[in-house]
A = this chain, B = another copy of it.
């Protein structure tokens, strides 16, 4: 069975360095196509670039212009290929316009071993059926964010007050997450998951779109099947910008991805 997500991130090879993609309508949010989805499309091209190194370990993307649904090309420039890791520069373009430019290091997560020593603590979440589902979003929100129809998200009730005009003010947002098409998470989909939730600034009462300047994701392990826990937090808003840290935990209780993005503060902010 082919899942929707795999169709949406599909790429076809044009030549050694160029891939064709078709950005799906269903990933629009606000004025453009979701940045995490773009990262997964570019990441999928890289996945097929390096034999034996299918997994993103680190990806740093700079967002240059808003993407629209439709044709796109992915351009890969291999910068170094070593024994265990390979690094490439990658652009996602539409016509002459570059949407994102990124650097990425790929490897094989299966070959890294299972040795884990961690002090990171899995975020506490009520069970999914005691959280707030994204299907409760009002129709006007879903109209400008069709990407929400791709997801089954269950928001932690402590940080969903913004949906009814009562943001907690702490700068945290967390949710259970899975794709509605039943596709299980993998390292490529994690590149999308780190940028799938609403901006953490919603929890600060700033309800506008928060354009990403830069996002770096580290995939730390292959995710187990099932629900993911996704937690966003911001601590420092300064000079019109804020950082958004994201952690993704799998159903086995393992920290499988970390990301940080630098984004612009929403302009239409309620303070």
CB distance from A46 to the nearest CB of B (A): 13
Interface residues of A in 212-256 (CB under 8 A from B): 213-214, 216, 218, 220-221, 235-241, 243, 254-255
A191–B103 Cα distance when bound, in Å, is: 18
Are A240 and B115 neighbours in the complex by a CB distance under 8 Å?
Answer: yes
Q: A101 contacts which of B89, B114, B117, B238 (Cβ < 8 Å)?
A: B89
- Given A119-B170, A213-B85, A214-B60, decide whether A220 and B236 contact each other with a Cβ distance below 8 A: yes
Q: Is A136's beta carbon under 8 Å from chain B?
A: no
- B residues within 8 A CB of A204? 117
Are A239 and B113 neighbours in the complex by a CB distance under 8 Å?
Answer: yes
Are B101 and A102 neighbours in the complex by a CB distance under 8 Å?
Answer: no
Are A118 and B214 neighbours in the complex by a CB distance under 8 Å?
Answer: no
CB distance from A30 to the nearest CB of B (A): 19
Are B238 and A220 neighbours in the complex by a CB distance under 8 Å?
Answer: yes
Number of copies: 2
Per-residue interface assignment for chain A, residues 23 to 60, with 1 indicating a CB less than 8 Å from any chain B CB and 0 otherwise: 00000000000000000000000000000000001101
- Given A103-B101, A237-B116, decide whether A64 and B89 contact each other with a Cβ distance below 8 A: no
Are A239 and B214 neighbours in the complex by a CB distance under 8 Å?
Answer: no
Q: Is A260's beta carbon under 8 Å from chain B?
A: yes
Closest to A105 in B: B213
Pairs A-B, 10 closest by C-beta atoms: A112-B239, A60-B60, A120-B235, A58-B214, A116-B238, A216-B216, A118-B236, A117-B237, A64-B80, A120-B236
Q: List 16 A-B contacts (CB under 8 A).
A: A58-B213, A58-B214, A60-B62, A79-B98, A80-B98, A89-B89, A103-B103, A112-B241, A113-B240, A115-B240, A118-B237, A119-B236, A120-B235, A220-B241, A236-B255, A236-B258
